[in-house]
Amino acid sequence: MKISTLFFVLLVVTGPLIVTAQQANVNLDYDPHKDKEGLTPFSAQLNSPEVHDDQTVTFRIRAPYAQHVALPVGAIHTSNDLGNEPILFLKKDDNIWELTIGPLIPDMYAYHFVVDGIRIADPSNTIAAFTAMPPYSQLVVHGNRPAYYDAQLVPHGNVTRHVYHSEVTNGHRELYVYTPPGYDENNSYPVLYLLGGSGELPSNWVYDGRVNFIMDNLLAEEKARPMIIAIPNNQIIHRNHPQHAELTFDLFEKELRNHVIPLIDQEYSTIPNPRGRAISGLSMGGRHSMFIGFRSLDLFANFGILSAGDVDAETTLKYFLTDPEVNEKVDYLFVGQGTKEVQSFFNQRVQALHEALNNHGVTHEYYVGGHGGHDWATWRHLLYYRFLPNLWRHPDH
């Protein structure tokens, strides 16, 4: 930290004045969509999106032959209700279509345009998402300082990509591993296995979820215990396969047991027992964590079920719910969802799980919070404000 501070001081005193432009990708800025120099992003035609200091956002696209341009607003949150229908752009001079909305709540949002019925990413936005779904763009609405998910002036951990061959899928697969600042192989660390949802890749927990920066900031604030976070690919079978629900859980459990956990225990200094492992995931990953984790108490004693559950939990989880020793075997069980999810059909699954756990006296934490729905605004919030700070706080650790 002393070296970093000294370098910063010398740069300000003796170096040239550097003002980063909108989407310049020079630094990991907390306000990348603020137009600071009046320059368009490299190779882009326009400034889009442009985030103003009052948290309003202007989108632009040059589409000379288009008849309709719209912005779906499902994952964009404002203090006022935007409704459920796409918002139409207005065509201005030079065949430029423009739309200003807001003010928005400071956060990171996924969005796309619909041009004459065709879904496209924002062609002028250099911050694009890489995922297993059709492409979309990322909108960063800044507040007056870096957020809990931003890179800050704190010690940073490392993220490593591992590529391995899987006999389960008969192909090469990837997983990402976060190690905390000051990772020391002479110490032993607990491991959180963190899973994505339908259409997510393991890298999405880094680029959309910002889990590494969230963990860095929590550690700097002394709000969490140092841990290794392993992010495997839980896309184990084509998501639209007609037998996805019947096949995915058994196959991914085999992937975890045969490849993922052995790789982590071999490459890193871990606590190789259930109390030293946690499994958590969002949406489909939450169901993987529940259906695989609850029947694998020989592997895991800690669970984070994010925006997931099961409407038939009393039946499908009976083996877990009726285990007379379940509260001795489980250190920490978290069930959480976003405030706007309570108004959606996802709430049925989450509530059914929460009620089943209550009915059988299974100790757990249930939490609803944040301003998001079934989206990354919720899952980042759940990690930072509840799940990660409470993980590994059991008296035995």
Q: What are 247-305's pLDDT values in tens digits? A: 999 999 999 999 999 999 999 999 999 999 999 999 999 999 999 999 999 999 999 99
**Single pTM value for the model:** 0.92
Determine what percent of the chain is predicted with pLDDT higher than 70.
Answer: 93
Residue 8: band (very low, low, confident or very high) from pLDDT cuts 50, 70, 90: very low
Domain 22-141 fold: Immunoglobulin-like (2.60.40)
Please give the pLDDT value at position 129: 78
What average pLDDT does the structure give for the chain? 91
> Is pLDDT at 152 greater than 90 in this prediction?
yes
Tokens matching residue 203: 């890298």
51 close to 60: Cβ distance less than 8 angstroms: no
Q: In angstroms, rounded to a whole number, what is the distance separating the alpha carbons of residues 363 and 360?
A: 9
CATH of domain 158-390: 3.40.50.1820
**Mean pLDDT within 301-313:** 97
**Mean pLDDT within 96-104:** 95
SS3 2: helix
**Model confidence over 186-215: pLDDT tens digits?**
999 999 999 999 989 999 999 999 999 999
Please give the pLDDT value at position 199: 87
> Is pLDDT at 63 greater than 60 in this prediction?
yes
- In the chain, the largest separation of any two C-alpha atoms, in whole Å, equals 71
C-alpha to C-alpha distances, 120 to 66, 83, 100, 336, nearest whole angstrom:
13, 21, 18, 32
Residue type, 260: V
CA 277 to chain centre: 20
- Residue 326 has a CB neighbour count (10 Å cut-off) of 19
**Model confidence over 111-139: pLDDT tens digits?**
999 999 999 999 999 998 778 788 899 99
Q: In angstroms, rounded to a whole number, what is the distance separating the alpha carbons of residues 336 and 334?
A: 6
Segments of 102-181 assigned E as strands: 107-111, 113-115, 118-120, 137-141, 158-166, 171-179
Residue 80: band (very low, low, confident or very high) from pLDDT cuts 50, 70, 90: low
160 close to 177: Cβ distance less than 8 angstroms: yes
**Model confidence over 209-251: pLDDT tens digits?**
999 999 999 999 999 999 999 999 999 998 889 988 889 999 9
**Mean pLDDT within 383-396:** 87
> Is pLDDT at 364 greater than 70 in this prediction?
yes
C-alpha to C-alpha distances, 350 to 135, 287, 305, 342, nearest whole angstrom:
28, 10, 9, 9
For tokens 């501070």, what's the residue?
5
**Mean pLDDT within 149-166:** 98
Domain boundaries, the chain: 22-141, 158-390
> Is pLDDT at 9 greater than 80 in this prediction?
no
Residue type, 2: K
CA 343 to chain centre: 21
Alpha helix (H) residue ranges in 141-231: 204-207, 211-220
**Model confidence over 370-384: pLDDT tens digits?**
999 999 999 999 999
